[in-house]
Amino acid sequence: MNSQNLIPIIGATVSIVSAIIASLFGWLSIRNAKLSQHAFAEKEAADAYERMISFRVKHPYVLRLSRQWEQGNFNKVHLQKSLQDDEKWVVYYSYFELCISFCNIVLAAWYQGRMDNNSFEKHYEPLIKLVLTEHNPIIEDIVNPKAKYVSYYIQKFRTQMDNNNWDWKENHEMLVK
């Protein structure tokens, strides 16, 4: 074989090796970006959970109030006719908003593929079930057919749990038994 015949073979080999290396670097880049997304989602969820816990430590009665929520309590939050009596509901509602924010952050990351499956299924999914179960009375109040104020992600998650025979009301009652 003469050198003239080797040049196209060497060129083709170099091109193939270059394509393989470029593909490998591309795959590594995509994998690194995915891991970075997962790490960011985990950090965002952990920060939101920390805000919830910090608030609850300052106001330990909020979980008791979650059990006492009734339909008319939105008036107490928004109108505050009796500041002394209604202030606790404002504090509870603030805590509830932190809880909903945490659930939305995690569920958005999960449904958008930005959270690791293992992390969601073994840690966050049970935690979200607990948080949503703890606050079922107010959630039932805001997911009624006339006024769906809960995010798409929470509605989707609740529907999935309903389809898996999760009884929100029953499990809410069982939390203190």
The one-digit pLDDT tens for each residue of the chain (177 residues) are: 666 777 777 777 878 888 888 887 777 777 767 767 778 889 999 999 999 999 999 999 999 999 999 887 878 888 777 777 788 999 999 999 999 999 999 999 999 999 989 999 999 999 999 999 999 999 988 876 665 677 889 989 999 999 999 999 999 999 887
Amino acid making up residue 84:
Q
C-alpha distances in Å from residue 40, one per residue of 27, 33, 64: 20, 10, 33
Where do the domains of the chain lie? 37-174
The single residue listed with the structure tokens 């805590």 is 95
